[in-house]
Chain A
Amino acid sequence: MHKEAAIRTPLILGDKTYHDITSDVVGPIEGKASKTWYLLITVAGIIALWGLGCVVYLISTGIGVWGLNKTVGWAWDITNFVWWVGIGHAGTLISAVLLLFRQKWRMAINRSAEAMTIFAVMMAALFPGIHMGRIWVAYWVLPLPNTFGSLWVNFNSPLLWDVFAISTYFTVSLVFWYIGLIPDFATIRDRMTTPISKKIYGLLSFGWSGKAKQWTRFEEVSLVLAGLATPLVFSVHSIVSFDFATSVIPGWHTTIFPPYFVSGAVFSGFAMVLTLLLIMRKVMGFENYITVKHVEYMNIVIIVTGSIVGVAYITELFMSWYSGVEYESYAFINRFSGPYMWSYWTMMTCNVLSPQLFWFKKLRTNLTFTFIISIVVNIGMWFERFVIIVTSIHRDYVPSSWSMFYPTWVDVGIFVGTIGIFFTLFLMFARFFPVLALNELKTILKVSGEKYKKEDH
């Protein structure tokens, strides 16, 4: 068995037994939902419905209900898309990359992080769909055999690459997440008393019996999927960045984009994981599983990725000057001094300055402060995408076409709506799914549990 140094901070605090872990995780599913849960899901549900209403209005009336114009053809739609895809990255990174690197601390957070990934990618996938002028022919982006003759998709188009990247990513994430859930569903099944829930969880657990052979296969599949998912962490956002990087628009046409987007995605993803887990930990009483140490680890990831992003911003600025291309240099001067300078400086403050505060151990172990910064980072990352998309195209080559973008209530409504849908889904997840990977946690209890560490001494 794996042995961990005694001086390492334990990952499971308190006097936990295997049974304690099971009841801590399955308890909330068995019991009645709290009033807080009902309140939260009502609020989230209303916002979600409002967002869906806006989507219906958009599809029935036309893209003109958004604030776009002849110059700015993408704004909040693609900003939201990239933002949500980015958020999704943390889940895959935690469950796949950290699995390969044998980071045990991932076990407390990977389940909810993966759920977050799935929901975030669902929200992200909404936008490329509804931003189309004719969503009813959206299936034309798939290379389907058809009756139109030799009509085929354009494999040169980064938007098509997006279609493949996002759909692959979503599928792999979903499968990976689900495989991890199977043993836990089985545990729940075994504890359920009502026939209906027993049946449902029985179906969900695919007849898992916990045999050693099943566990071996489980481990193998997890490793294989982790191996598959790891390149996806890097490919998806690289491909999303190609939408911009392969264009001719100054401010988009940048070779630095793929690594810059990937680190930005991990950055925002971890921030979102923190936002969710800090609430969940408190509300569901998981203080012993999601410890300050976990938060600190994640904050360290935020410092690293935040700094990469910061370096990328500075590099872009340097290159715009160094390139000597007047359009390129103007695009960046306009970014930080033009009509949208407020969004640029919001981005710089939120993304570059605020995570640097985590260099202080006192701050990165302070949960309230971390919570605030996690939200600040996500605001900053939204603005990063807004800055890239809107401030680049609103003033590009031909000055006669320069314009401004002003969002309408539908733009805002749909964005807020996706947050509502996201939280509705996450609340459903928290209510009916094992939010911690309980069977995995059990594997580290004796290695890294506080009680066992004490006993060893």
Chain B
Amino acid sequence: MANNKQYWAGLEELHETQEFKKASENEFISDPKSVDEFLTDSATSDSSPDRRDFLKFLGFGVTAATIAACETPVIKSIPYTNKPETITPGVPNYYASTYYDGLDYGGVLVKTREGRPIFIKPNKASGQVLNARINASVLSLYDSTRLRGPLQNGTPVSWDELDQELGSKLKAANGSIVLLTGSVISPSTKAVFRKFEKAYGTDKVKFVSYDALSQNAIRKANERTFGKSMIPDYDFSKAKVIVSVAADFMNDWLLHTQNTAQYIKTRRPDGDWMSRHYQFETALSLTGTNADERGAIKPSDEGRVLVALHNEIAKMTGGASVSINTDGLPNELIAKAAKDLYTNRGDSLLVAGCNDTDLQVVTNGINRMLGNYGTTISTDTELFIKGGNDAEMKKLVDDMNAGNVGALLVLGTNPAYTYPDSDAFKSGLEKVATTVSFASWNDETASLCGFVCPDHHYLESWNDFYPKTGNYALAQPTISPLYDTRQAQDSLLKWSGEEEVYSDFMKGVWRNYAGEMGGDEILFEDFWFNALRRGFVNIDVPSGVGIGEFNSDALGAAAGRIAGRKAAGDGFEVVLYTKVGIGEGTQPVNPWLQELPDPITKITWDNYIAMNPADAEQYGFKMHYGQELPASVARLTIGAMSVELPVIAQPGQKRGTVSVALGYGRGGNQEEVGRAAFRTKPYGGHALDDNGNKMPIGANVYPMVALGKDGMVYYAEGANIEDAGRTFEIASTQTQHTLMGRTSVVKETDLNTYKNGDVKEYNPPYVLPVHEGGKVINKPVQDVDLWAEHPVAGVGHRWGMSIDLSTCTGCSACVTACHSENNVPVVGKDEVRRGRDMHWMRIDRYYSSDMNMERGEEEGKGVIGTYREMEVPQYDNPKTIHMPMMCQHCNHAPCETVCPVAATTHSNEGLNQMTYNRCIGTRYCANNCPYKVRRFNWFNYKAYDKFTEVNPSQDEMARMVLNPDVTVRARGVMEKCSLCVQRIQGGKLEAKLKGKPINDGAVQTACAEACPTNAITFGDLNDTKSLVLQGHKDKRAYYALEDVGTKPNISYKVKVRNT
């Protein structure tokens, strides 16, 4: 039955012809003709080939070989034989997930193409927005320096071997088993911890967590003032007045991805009201650049500022004030801020960034005086992030050194790098018999641990999160693990003797809580599916739970202690802060983020000492830096610790202080912590020091964080700065910092003028005197035209963009999003220094200057002198403006007319399009672009040696992050912003398939999508109802460099400051 079918090799076999029979008898042909005999014409010659035949074969052979060699080799192209249901080649899939690394938290949508995650975009419904660090996290998935499997004492082992070995060691642990983590906000992970605890004994297993950037003081302050160690949920969207004392709440303070989203709601000048934001801080932070009023203070004065604020408000409320010396504080601004806070009591918010309990107690006291609890500060919801406990961590290090710890498991944190007293931690680690790290990279801590059990990347993992009351979130894998890694929770479950894998375990946990989370236990699968699909579950929080009674004594005591503090001594005060691109530095070193210009300094690839220009001048440090203008190097000494770093003259930095970013100096002992971790030479290869070691970028200043009685202190007093007598090259994307009075680039006004003034006052139209009909009349520049209009108005689509300078915070999330979406090459420090950064999208940052043309004329400076002084930003408190700049898609594009080969042309949808394969690279278009947004491929970035260390496309793994919809450009061609034309085409196709017009907002450029504040609106200008058209018609709308007559499709909205 099974074998009753018969198959024939051919018709010959079926018909059993003679030839076939003969041939089949003889499997191997006995007398094969030699090739030359076969080819030779036997009719004319029986012999072997003659000379002519030989030449024929030779000719044929050579030609055939040559032609064969021309064929493009096909390497590893594997088609789907069975198409997976969800994967259609060319069509992306999106998965909701969540990013959390201890500093950044945010709901994300992961774009995958053919099974590869390639882009991270915000899951806007989740209530959080994304920043540049989260956007760029997709690249670390493909980092080739990630561990490819578990290690034991530095050598690869199999998981089974490791489990066996480690299991027995843990059981035999002499002393406590400590699980050291960053702040864990995952309920299921915590449940796993309970299992682990149960398996190894509750008395034996201990959990310690700490944060590299600690906010422990807020919890402690709340314990003192309200009797509960917690962090309340702040609501910036309700605050009409925001006063921040050193809290960079849009970059690193608490749930900053939520803060930004809420804050910006109040910053729209067209709303009923616009918040007023005061910032008192030392270094010019991202948040500080957005403040309406900013006062520069020393970090040691933060307490006095808070008490002074308290006194001013107490005066108004009639409360008791604390006597304090207010010398040297920006008292006028404090009084103004206090008055504003008081006037808007109940609708105001004071936040403080320091990790100092007394200061946070005073902050709580002021907020309570103002009645902000229950309005801008939630009494019902609390934040669970930043759960680290500085004191417990300190005790753990002591215990380790005392030999009381039998086993240490390090999860999601890197204490050998981020712990201030890392030397003590390392020496303690040596005394722990069994050390385990779950790090995905063999980083500073992992390389010292006996066992390394690499965790999955977050895009390969299951997880859940509970960042604040009522807000549950999920993370799901978007790709099967690239390497032989195992999720840390799975490892822990395994070692606890559980059979279940973490994904099932987690589902089990959720099943138990489903009811609580608003789901139905019976319909759990539906609930689970929807939760996964959305990425989060928000439930209503019962209101009126309230927080405890306020303890007024604590406030008095804290204020008294602050007043009694010794004045800071001589020497510089040093602020240790986190940069927008690098954060805590606990992520692997990411080339996109290294290349991201810092929103404030515009410097890439480096760490530096930021110093007020006046101080720098006094020291004789270099004030300008550029391609051939290196920065001076200074030695910064605090106690026994000293670092040498370049000095940057930073306007807005408080005089007498410097600031240095944390998060640099990774891989100090040659650890593999990501590509682009080390300095490179100008012509490729890593730069090596005298001992032949690779040199980390910047210096690690975590050891400068003081471990005070109260926890970690991120500033230091009495620092010494001296000239190290050498210079260091700096790669900055912007070397001119002021606007030079060019009002047609950036327009700004204040809220009063905007609300009450005429449009001519805050958005004056640009007019040209024109000779018409025998007299001179002033005509708006839009009406003066040399060229015929493109016939795009009202026909088909006309894509455009509107950018609101009022709501752009300069956070640069759009820059990394664009980098990721458009395969923008990473070019490394040397090329950025040479002014060849490739960013299609950049944020121009301008400082105000003390000088202007009117003043110069009054003072008789002369035009040359005036212009020279206009180049100098104001030293102490410059107004800052951020201006996103990309191709303006001009309707009369200067670039289009000058290209000799018509490689850049205008599309009939209003796009200025670049045809890479037609471009011959004359660069005429770039010269003629008034906005200087065109970028030239100076080298073959994807193959030239110079970029091997920095450019992801030269890495076999990292190359997988490239967006398949966007060409990787060849050497010698021009490129620039395309308004994400691949997305436009995708959107049009989708609409066409549905047979419906494109909805407004259905097509989004990467930058508009990534913008946390919706400052960028993209859409169809021919769609009369589109948001972007409203933006263009807004009374604040203007075109950059309108007077040049380029007629851009991108408009800006006047920046409005609430001053």
Contacts and interface: CB of A to CB of B under 8 A. Distances in A.
Mutual binders A and B: yes
Contact of A137 (B627, B920, B1041): B920
B901 A131 contact: no
B78 interface: no
B901 A393 contact: no
A323 to B, nearest CB: 11
Interface in B734-780: 734-736, 738-742, 745
Most buried by A among B868, B919, B926, B1046: B926
Interface in A429-457: none
B894 A133 contact: no
A406 interface: yes
B899 A401 contact: no
B921 interface: yes
Contacts of A134: 919-921, 970-973
Contact of B745 (A153, A399, A406): A399
A404 B927 CA distance: 14
B935 interface: yes
Contacts of B972: 62-63, 132-134
Contact of B937 (A133, A135, A137, A243): A133
Contacts of B921: 63, 132-134
| Interface majority SS (helix, strand, loop, mixed), chain B | loop
A246 B900 CA distance: 14
Interface in A231-267: 243, 246-249
A396 interface: yes
Given A64-B831, A398-B844, 14 more contacts: A62-B938, A72-B835, A133-B937, A134-B973, A153-B901, A158-B898, A243-B924, A249-B928, A326-B742, A397-B1044, A398-B931, A399-B745, A403-B626, A403-B627
Contacts of B902: 151-154
B918 interface: yes
B885 interface: yes
Given A73-B926, A248-B928, A404 B626 contact: yes
Contacts of B934: 70
What are the 10 closest A-B residue pairs judged by CB atoms, nearest first?
A: A133-B921, A133-B972, A64-B938, A69-B835, A73-B923, A400-B844, A401-B932, A154-B902, A402-B736, A134-B972
B897 A156 contact: yes
B920 A132 contact: yes
B939 A330 contact: no
Contact of B944 (A62, A135, A326): A62
Contacts of B1040: 398
A18 interface: no
A140 B842 CA distance: 32
B928 A247 contact: yes
B885 to A, nearest CB: 7
B861 to A, nearest CB: 13
**B-side interface size class:** 35 or more
A62 B835 contact: no
A399 B736 contact: yes
Nearest to B871: A399
Contacts of B627: 69, 403-404, 406
B684 to A, nearest CB: 12
Contacts of B937: 62, 133
A333 B863 CA distance: 8
A70 B919 contact: no
A62 to B, nearest CB: 4
A315 interface: no
B670 interface: no
B864 interface: yes
A62 B931 contact: no
A68 B932 contact: no
Most buried by A among B738, B898, B900, B974: B900
A126 interface: no
Most buried by B among A157, A160, A327: A157
B734 A133 contact: no
B167 interface: no
Given A71-B835, A398-B930, A401-B932, A330 B740 contact: yes
A163 interface: yes
23 contacts: A63-B938, A63-B972, A64-B831, A70-B835, A70-B935, A134-B970, A134-B971, A135-B920, A157-B897, A157-B899, A158-B898, A159-B899, A159-B900, A159-B922, A334-B867, A337-B867, A397-B742, A398-B745, A398-B844, A400-B736, A400-B846, A400-B883, A403-B735
A378 to B, nearest CB: 25
A74 interface: yes
B252 to A, nearest CB: 26
B936 interface: yes
Contacts of B864: 333, 337
Nearest to A67: B834
Most buried by B among A131, A134, A330: A134
Contacts of A243: 924
Nearest to A402: B736
A141 interface: yes
Given A133-B936, A134-B973, A330 B867 contact: yes
B268 interface: no
B742 A399 contact: yes
A138 interface: yes
Interface string A145-172: 0000001111011111001000000000
Contacts of A404: 626-628, 735
Contact of B927 (A74, A163, A395): A74
B268 to A, nearest CB: 25
A342 to B, nearest CB: 15
Interface of B: 626-628, 734-736, 738-742, 745, 831, 834-837, 842, 844-846, 863-864, 867-868, 883, 885, 894, 897-902, 918-924, 926-928, 930-932, 934-940, 944, 970-974, 1040-1041, 1044, 1046
Contacts of A400: 734, 736, 842, 844-846, 883, 885
A398 B932 contact: yes
Given A61-B939, A396-B932, A131 B863 contact: no
Nearest to B940: A62
A84 to B, nearest CB: 18
Nearest to B834: A69
Nearest to A401: B932
Given A69-B836, A70-B837, A157-B924, A399 B739 contact: yes
A327 B742 CA distance: 8
Interface in A64-112: 64, 67-74
Contact of B923 (A133, A138, A163, A401): A133
B886 to A, nearest CB: 12
A133 B927 contact: no
A418 B851 CA distance: 46
A247 B922 contact: no
A401 B920 CA distance: 24
Contacts of B926: 70, 73
B162 to A, nearest CB: 47
Contact of A393 (B735, B927, B940, B1046): B927
A451 B628 CA distance: 64
A333 B972 CA distance: 34
Nearest to B738: A399
Contacts of A64: 831, 836, 938-939
Most buried by B among A243, A247, A333: A247
A72 B934 CA distance: 11
Given A141-B901, A156-B897, A399-B739, A333 B867 contact: yes
A403 B922 CA distance: 20
A140 B920 contact: yes
Contacts of A393: 927
A260 B894 CA distance: 24
Nearest to B864: A337
Most buried by B among A133, A153, A160: A133
Contacts of A156: 897-898
Contacts of A249: 927-928, 930
B651 to A, nearest CB: 15
Contact of B918 (A140, A397, A406): A140
